[in-house]
Amino acid sequence: MSIAIAVVIVTVTGLLGAAILVVAAQFMHVEEDERVGLVAAELPGANCGACGYAGCADYAKAVVEGAPVNKCVPGGAATAAAVAAVMGVEAGEVAVRKAVVACQGSYVHTTNKYDYEGIKTCAACNTLYNGRAACQYGCLGYGDCAVKCKFGAITISNGVAVIDKEKCTGCGACASACPNNIIWVLPESDKPVVLCANKERGALTRKGCSAGCIGCMKCEKTCQQGAIKVVDNVASIDHEKCTGCRECVEVCPVKAITIPKNIEEAIAATLPKEEPKAAE
């Protein structure tokens, strides 16, 4: 008898709770603007976060609430135009951005300082003496960036990441995944970039990588626009000031400065090679 009473009590309690939830749902229900779904349908669904929101659904909601319609980097101008049409506004310009790997440290230019047999990820390798490569500022070569890229735009060739500019959408997922922070997402242009992040003095840089910036300041002295500065032994270029004259490219003695569209060709010239073992 006592068991039957307990069952009845539990059942009644459950039904009462369900009724309360139903009533609460009715009173607290908030109608969603139908434009949220329409905007979301125009987005690529990559959920890369390049727009500054957690994913496409969050960005769609933000757009309906007043966010700019041209923040979807993977979608580009076509998506901006489609979203703008839904919202009845102007799309505005969409800056095309591409990822750049600031490293030429393939195994033609560098070596390993030890044999690494741990977990095959950049993050794991980086915890052991800043990676296996002689240059601790370069590409770690295990492809954490390639794993994060949802567009198949990254491959690892001869120890360094290579980005396919045709596939790259500039979403920035690869940059977030790089432990050494050597992947930069820049506006697409013919302006030169410095493919090195080594902050050691010239002699030490050359010891680790023959293609590294040696901080000689020839580029800084040559630039008439004041667009190049050597800070912490490595050159950096201010693209706002840079006119794309390419004089810095010509004077760089180690060819650490190049035009982004030529990066793949420069790296391809170093392929194929097998990874060397750690130096004795």
Rg (CA), the chain: 26
Does 117 have pLDDT greater than 70? yes
pLDDT recorded at residue 270: 47
Token look-up 């300041």 returns 217
Question: What is the pTM (predicted TM-score) of this model?
Answer: 0.74
Provide mean pLDDT across the span 142-168: 93
The residue with tokens 């969603």 is 32
Instruction: List domains and CATH numbers for the chain.
Output: 34-87 (1.10.15), 97-268 (3.30.70.20)
How far is residue 172's CA from residue 48's CA, in Å, rounded to a whole number? 8
| Structure tokens, 50 | 């390049």
pLDDT digits (tens, 9 = 90+) for 65-88: 998 999 898 888 899 999 999 999
Tell me the range of 10-14, 32-36, 264-268 where mean pLDDT is highest. 32-36
| Arithmetic mean of pLDDT over the chain | 86
Residue range 192-207, pLDDT digits in tens:
999 999 999 999 999 9
> Percent of the chain having pLDDT more than 90?
59
